[in-house]
Each structure stands twice: as structure tokens, then as C-alpha cells.
Amino acid sequence: MILTVARQIISLMILSIIMAISGGYMLIPLLRRIKMGQYVREDGPQSHLQKAGTPTMGGFIFLLPFLVVGILTGNLGVLFWVTLACAGIGLTDDYIKVVLKRSLGLKAYQKLLLQFMVILVYVGYQYYQGQLSTQIVIPFVEGSWDMGGLWYPFIVIVVLGTINGSNLTDGLDGLSASVTAVIMLFLVVAAFLQGKLDIGILALLLLSGLLGFLWFNTYPAKVFMGDTGSLALGGFVAFVSIYLKLPLFILLFGIIYLAESISVMLQVAYFKKTGKRLFKMAPLHHHFELSGLKETKIVTGFTLITILGTLLALLALL
């Protein structure tokens, strides 16, 4: 039985990687032809100006196997749909930036409102199905804690923070994909340990898709995932963590998401108070970039930190 399941899982991973790589070879030329090139802010690092015009919306490369294999296997639960909903928000943002040439895309309040609506759908569906739980597991503590009414504002913070942390992490070639691939591996293990095979397979599909996507996204990137990809990944990580009652574990395995978000908040607050910058540039990866570190070195360092955070999260889980 175990060997049969293992064979099926490995087969799905192989299929997903092949789909992602072959899809990338077809999608990237198409994105170039229809001029879906990345807009690069002039106030960003000067080294990034040469990236202007690199195709974006590459999140489709890893979302394709997630979508197709998910449908073929009938793995169409609420987590599948909320992930695609987050991808839809990102797609809208990318479309406004690239096609309509409005560099800021969706306004901040519009993004937050749409993300909040996805949260409402998730909570409403789980409540209707009788599967809504307000319990969470605390790292390194046995048992779980029932948060009661506090759970609702808490998960709003978790989802919005994780989605936008994922979005901020997508700023260097291969950074978001590398960091999130490690996170997906944790979610696979956590889901399997809880006997949630369907959730673990969804995480494996995204993990495999990300591995295929990295063929095109590592430095120098031939395509960027765009908000289509980063919002989908952040949404999946947030909602799966909540479903598995592990949102607090994001503080460990999602340490890079957290650091990127906090760096932006600190930068804004410090500048408003003193008129000076705390970091050379925010999010945090740009600070290190302007400090002289190469992109590849930053990506490697942030991925290693994520691996350490994930190992700590696994230790806490076990």
C-alpha cells in the first residue's frame, strides 16, 4: 500500500516538473510576443534596470501543473480554489501594470479587500461544511489551543501578512521560488503527518512546479513569476497552514517572508519619524544588494535561512 502511494506521488511529481518545464518553453516566447514585460521602478536598484522587459506572469508555469493535475486527480477542495483566487488577484494586478501600463497596479486597499474576500469565502465554506476549527498548535508545546473568537482576526493577519510577505520576497532572480520550494516541503511533511494526503499532494504539485520554474527563473532570469505567482504561493502557504492548525509555524519556516515585511514597515516608520532611511532600501534583499552582495549570494543565503527555519519548524512539529 505504502509503495503504491509512493509510486503515485513520485509519478505526479515527475509529471508536474515536465509540465512546468515544457510549459515554460511555450509560455515565455508567447509572453515576449505579446510584450508582457516586467516594469522596473526607476527608484529601485540601478542594476535592475537591465531587467526591464523580462516577461512576467511566469507564475502560470508552476500553476499549470497545479491546475491540470489537481483536476485530473479530483483534488479540488477549498484550498485548491482559494489558491487560484489569490492567483486571480495577482493576475489582475499584473494585467493593470503590464497591459494597462499603470505601474502601481491595483491600489493597496483594493488588494487587501480582495484578499479579505477570499478569507471570507474560506471561513464561510469551512463553517458550512462543519470543518471550521479555531484551534492552533503552538510550536514546541504538546496539544493545541482553542483561540475562540480571537481566531478570526488572527487568521486575517496571518493570511494578509503571508500573502504580502510572499509578494515582497519576489524581488530577486530565483529568490521567491527557492524560498517557497523549501516551505512547500515542510507543508508536504506536515500534511502527511496529519494524514491529509490530498493537501500534501497539492503542496507537492506546487513544489514540483517551482522546481521546473526555477529552470527559467534562476539568475539571470528569463521570466518572473509576477504577482500572479507570488500571491498564489503566499495564499497557499497561509491557508494550508491554517487548515493544518499551524499558522504560528509560519514564524519559523516563513522567516524570510516575515523579515521582508518587517523591513518595509520599519523603513516606513523610521523615515516618517526621522526623515532618514533605516535600510539602504526595503525590502530587506535590496538592502543587502546595495551593500554589495551579489543576487545569487543573497538568494543562497535567504534559502539557507529558510532551510534552517524549516528544520526548526519540523523539530517543533515532531
**What is the tens place of the pLDDT at every residue in 183-224?**
999 999 999 999 999 999 999 999 999 999 999 999 999 999
Q: List, in order, residues 6 or more apart from 285 with CB less than 8 Å away.
A: 169, 171, 172, 175, 260, 298, 302
How confident is the prediction for the chain on average, in pLDDT?
A: 90
Query: Between residues 34 and 20, which one has the greater pLDDT?
Result: 20
**Residue 47 confidence (pLDDT) above 60:** no
- Cis omega (within 30 of 0) for bond into 153: no
Question: What's the predicted TM-score (pTM) here?
Answer: 0.93
Most confident of 127-131, 173-177, 278-282: 173-177
- Residue 139: predicted pLDDT: 93
Q: List, in order, residues 6 or more apart from 150 with CB less than 8 Å away.
A: none
Residue 305 — very low, low, confident or very high, per pLDDT cuts 50/70/90? very high
Q: How far is CA 160 from CA 39, 85, 151, 205, in A?
A: 24, 14, 14, 23
Q: Which of 43-47, 250-254, 297-301 has the lowest mean pLDDT?
A: 43-47
Mean pLDDT of 67-91: 92
- Residue 188: predicted pLDDT: 96
Identify whether the C-beta of residue 54 lies closer than 8 Å to the C-beta of residue 224. yes
Mean pLDDT of 20-24: 95
Residue 98 — very low, low, confident or very high, per pLDDT cuts 50/70/90? confident
Residue 105 — very low, low, confident or very high, per pLDDT cuts 50/70/90? confident
Residue 244 — very low, low, confident or very high, per pLDDT cuts 50/70/90? very high
Q: Which of 31-45, 141-155, 217-231 has the lowest mean pLDDT?
A: 31-45
Identify whether the C-beta of residue 3 lies closer than 8 Å to the C-beta of residue 21. no
Mean pLDDT of 31-49: 63
Give the three-state DSSP class for 166: helix
The distance from CA 312 to its chain's CA centroid, rounded to whole angstroms, is 20
Query: Between residues 176 and 107, which one has the greater pLDDT?
Result: 176
Query: Between residues 65 and 52, which one has the greater pLDDT?
Result: 65
Residue 160 — very low, low, confident or very high, per pLDDT cuts 50/70/90? very high
Mean pLDDT of 302-314: 97
Residue 75 — very low, low, confident or very high, per pLDDT cuts 50/70/90? confident
CB-hemisphere CA count at 13 Å for 136?
20
Q: Which of 42-56, 130-144, 222-236 has the lowest mean pLDDT?
A: 42-56
- Residue 52: predicted pLDDT: 67
Residue 161 — very low, low, confident or very high, per pLDDT cuts 50/70/90? very high
- Residue 46: predicted pLDDT: 53
**Residue 99 confidence (pLDDT) above 80:** no
**Residue 106 confidence (pLDDT) above 70:** yes
Identify whether the C-beta of residue 44 lies closer than 8 Å to the C-beta of residue 2. no
**Residue 142 confidence (pLDDT) above 90:** no
Identify whether the C-beta of residue 105 lies closer than 8 Å to the C-beta of residue 97. yes
Element housing 1 (H / E): none
Q: How far is CA 263 from CA 42, 54, 108, 170, 284, in A?
A: 20, 26, 18, 14, 6
Percent of the chain scored above 90 by pLDDT? 72
- Residue 48: predicted pLDDT: 56
